[in-house]
Structure 1
Amino acid sequence: MTTSPTPQQTRQWRRYLADERAEAQVYRSLAERREGEEREILLGLAEAEKRHETHWVELLGDDVGKPVAPGLRNRVLGLLAKRFGSVFVLALAQSAEARTPYATEVAATPQMAADEAIHEEVLRGLAARGRAHMTGNFRAAVFGANDGLVSNLALVMGMAGTGVGSGVVLAAGVSGLLAGALSMGAGEYISVRSARELLAASHPSQDARAAVPDLDLEENELTLVYRSRGMGDEEARTKAHAVMTAVHGHPERLLPDGAMPDVAVDVDSEEAVGNAWGAATSSFGFFSSGALIPILPFVFGMTGFPALIVAAVLVGLALMVTGSVVGLLSGAPPLRRALRQLAIGYGAAAITYLLGLAFGAAGLIG
């Protein structure tokens, strides 16, 4: 005999039902902004949530009642999915699936808990695709902003610690902004340009490709080309023989597809590295934006210790924002990443402030 659920269970199960419906809608909204394989995967996730929805409907029976509002997280996800559909939403959905209550919910089946774990992994894979497309320039932007925030706050705190006037502190902060932004921009350009040139140097030469049809059928070094790209000896010999047989058997001696090995790096390596000018611009712009924040109180006429407090608070808030964004994209807890960024930034500023006090007290700064 089946016992009726308690009022508390009824409320909880209704919330589970609402959350399942909301999650399915999130996946359908994301699917509308995609096509091909990604669209099919997201619709498959929505269908899986439909199975979970059916489970709670059957458990509730006549107590299913009117639809209730899903949790705040799922409501926010639904709004974001309808308007953006970006990698940020996928990362948030991945985080939501990781927090499933089904592992400890006795009314949920083990299969439902397993489904949620797999859903998290599916979303991790989809989010990874999006991250690969934004890694290069996004990395430059995040690093630029963080460097600007931390380095200029440390510079301002260090100068203030020596006891110099607010005008000197402001001048040092502006100089640090300009010097750092130019240095970051130039460094990113050189770094990305060099990385892309190294990747380009790894691609098979067109001269080597053109020379293959003229190789001797029996005596040639094509096997060594394949072995140099990581193939085993037997596999390389087999492929070389098949390629040369196909070439010499073709009336125009055309190379078959895949005759020359692909570069031994990820397919999206160049996308992940980014564009040199894009990375340089992102780094310059975001470093400048970050470095501007610590000197804002001085720009608006504040002086002394109050200006330092305001600068530290503003920088702290900005560091927590950038840390949270990185946490979301990496699928890690945003608050933990935010606090880590905050600790690093404040740690660097505190050290330079103490050094400034030491130099000032020693009379090294006039």
Structure 2
Amino acid sequence: MSAGHSVKPGAEPSAAEIRRWRQYLADERAEARIYRDLASRRTGEEREILLALAEAEGRHEAHWLALLGDRVGRAARVDLQTVLLGFLARRFGSVFVLALAQRAEARSPYDQDVHATDAMAADERIHEEVVRGLAARGRSRLSGSFRAAVFGANDGLVSNLALVLGISASGVSNQTVLLTGLAGLLAGALSMGAGEFVSVRSQRELLQASTPNESARAALPHLDVDANELALVYRARGLDQVEAEAQAAQVLQDIDAVSRAAPPSAPDDVDEHEAIGTGLGAGLASFCFFASGAIIPVLPFLFGIGGLAALAVASVLVGIALLSTGAIVGLLSGGPPLRRALRQLAIGYGAASATYLLGLLFGTAVG
């Protein structure tokens, strides 16, 4: 790895190069502040990792300071996303900030800039993976109830907008549309909540059934060494006969080390039960967020608006909500928020348009 590139001795950097270096300097300083702000809200290992990232950004800052020399001048403006990251880091320090930081690290221009060192370009690529790992921890803590909440809200938005548009297009009264929307809200929320509760409880029960029984380890000192039933355990877990017998022999040689020698259930950093969430939490989140999404298409009718005006207002409100949920999912998944938001909007409007056309056809046929 090369030590890097610099301006040739005696050569003056161009105005464009100076502007670019000043921008890099401002960005590195801002990113270091973000990591320090995030670290101030963490403890233990996560805090140490974030402070190490801030220290690395400080090394990059020193590189641009050296190149600029006495041409540092006024600080360049930081891009809007970095400003937003800093604000969120100071106010919340949440997984959303880490997800945004992951995307920011992925867009590093150092690979294409001859004045950035190879080490700096490599740092930025590794930083993306470090932040991805930190964000993954937060995502795993949110994934159970949060997944139910986001998709519950999205289902409520789409299904009740489709229901309201379809019923309204058939030519019924505003009161009928309102009652139908409220009935759809309640039925859907109950169905979603109950379904999520059963789903998560079933998943947890399956995991518990697959988790090794700790009490079985107490029987190890009393095993018949010649028969070696322990080898069957390892064979049942996927080892072939030779590997299973070798592993069992090693365990039986030192009973005091059983807890360390016995095979772990799963080499994951994340507790699977934690990642799934609790049945009650997921069910309540699904119920509440479905209801919060499903109420939006009904709001115009609740406030006495009718006809096409009510449908237009409902569609706009639901569109804004769909864009928001899509952007949130995009941020958490590390994907492009705008693309996820537009995809969510297209799917929701597509479903609503289909039911609206069916309502028009039904209303015409009945009429």
Q: Which runs of 5+ in 2 are unaligned?
A: 1-8
Measure, in 2, the Cα distance between the counterparts of 1:211 and 1:108: 61
Q: Which runs of 5+ in 1 are unaligned?
A: 248-253
Measure, in 1, the Cα distance between the counterparts of 2:266 and 2:235: 12
Shift of 1:333: 0.5
Amino acid at match of 1:235: E
Shift of 1:362: 1.1
Corresponding residue number in structure 2 for 1:217: 225
Amino acid at match of 1:256: V
Q: What SS is found at the alignment partner of 2:13?
A: coil
Instruction: Output aligned runs, 1:249-328, within 5 Å.
Output: 256-258=258-260, 260-264=262-266, 266=268, 267-328=270-331
Measure, in 1, the Cα distance between the counterparts of 2:24 and 2:253: 62
Q: Does 1:336 align with 2:339?
A: yes
Bigger mean CA offset, 144-153 vs 160-169:
160-169
Corresponding residue number in structure 1 for 2:6: none
Bigger mean CA offset, 285-294 vs 216-225:
216-225
Match of 1:32 among 15, 19, 40: 40
Q: Which stretches of structure 1, 4 residues or more, deviate above 6 A after TM superposition?
A: none
TM-score (norm 1): 0.93
Bigger mean CA offset, 82-91 vs 337-346:
82-91
Amino acid at match of 1:240: A
Match of 1:162 among 127, 152, 170: 170
Measure, in 1, the Cα distance between the counterparts of 2:119 and 2:252: 52
Corresponding residue number in structure 1 for 2:160: 152
Measure, in 2, the Cα distance between the counterparts of 1:137 and 1:70: 35
Shift of 1:237: 1.6
Measure, in 2, the Cα distance between the counterparts of 1:114 and 1:265: 28
Shift of 1:113: 2.2
Measure, in 2, the Cα distance between the counterparts of 1:66 and 1:299: 55
Q: What SS is found at the alignment partner of 1:108?
A: coil
Shift of 1:300: 0.4
Corresponding residue number in structure 2 for 1:118: 126
Q: Does 1:189 align with 2:194?
A: no
Number of aligned pairs? 358
- Deviation string, structure 1 residues 81-125 (Cα, Å, up to 9, x no partner): 122111111001001111222233333233322221111111111
Measure, in 1, the Cα distance between the counterparts of 2:355 and 2:10: 69
Shift of 1:233: 3.3
Match of 2:349 among 340, 346, 351: 346
Instruction: Output aligned runs, 1:48-63, within 5 Å.
Output: 48-63=56-71
Corresponding residue number in structure 2 for 1:108: 116
Q: What SS is found at the alignment partner of 1:313?
A: helix
Contact 2:251–2:262 at 8 Å: present in 1 too?
A: no
Match of 2:144 among 136, 145, 161: 136
Give % identity. 64
Shift of 1:171: 0.7
Amino acid at match of 1:24: A
Contact 2:65–2:72 at 8 Å: present in 1 too?
A: yes
- Deviation string, structure 1 residues 293-312 (Cα, Å, up to 9, x no partner): 00000000000111001100
Q: Does 1:239 align with 2:242?
A: no
Measure, in 2, the Cα distance between the counterparts of 1:13 and 1:261: 53
Contact 1:204–1:260 at 8 Å: present in 2 too?
A: no
Amino acid at match of 1:290: G
Measure, in 2, the Cα distance between the counterparts of 1:315 and 1:124: 31
Shift of 1:246: 2.3
Shift of 1:260: 4.4
Contact 1:170–1:298 at 8 Å: present in 2 too?
A: yes
Measure, in 1, the Cα distance between the counterparts of 2:83 and 2:323: 24
Measure, in 2, the Cα distance between the counterparts of 1:90 and 1:207: 40
Amino acid at match of 1:262: P
Contact 2:197–2:280 at 8 Å: present in 1 too?
A: yes
Amino acid at match of 1:338: A
Amino acid at match of 1:261: P
Bigger mean CA offset, 173-182 vs 81-90:
81-90
CA RMSD of superposed structures (Å): 1.7
Q: Does 1:175 align with 2:183?
A: yes
Q: What SS is found at the alignment partner of 2:197?
A: helix
Q: What SS is found at the alignment partner of 1:70?
A: coil
Bigger mean CA offset, 176-185 vs 228-237:
228-237
Contact 2:156–2:289 at 8 Å: present in 1 too?
A: yes
Decide whether aligned partners of structure 1 residues 206 and 39 sit closer, same or farther in structure 2, where only a CA change above 3 A counts.
closer
Contact 2:25–2:65 at 8 Å: present in 1 too?
A: yes
Measure, in 1, the Cα distance between the counterparts of 2:257 and 2:123: 46
Q: What SS is found at the alignment partner of 1:192?
A: helix
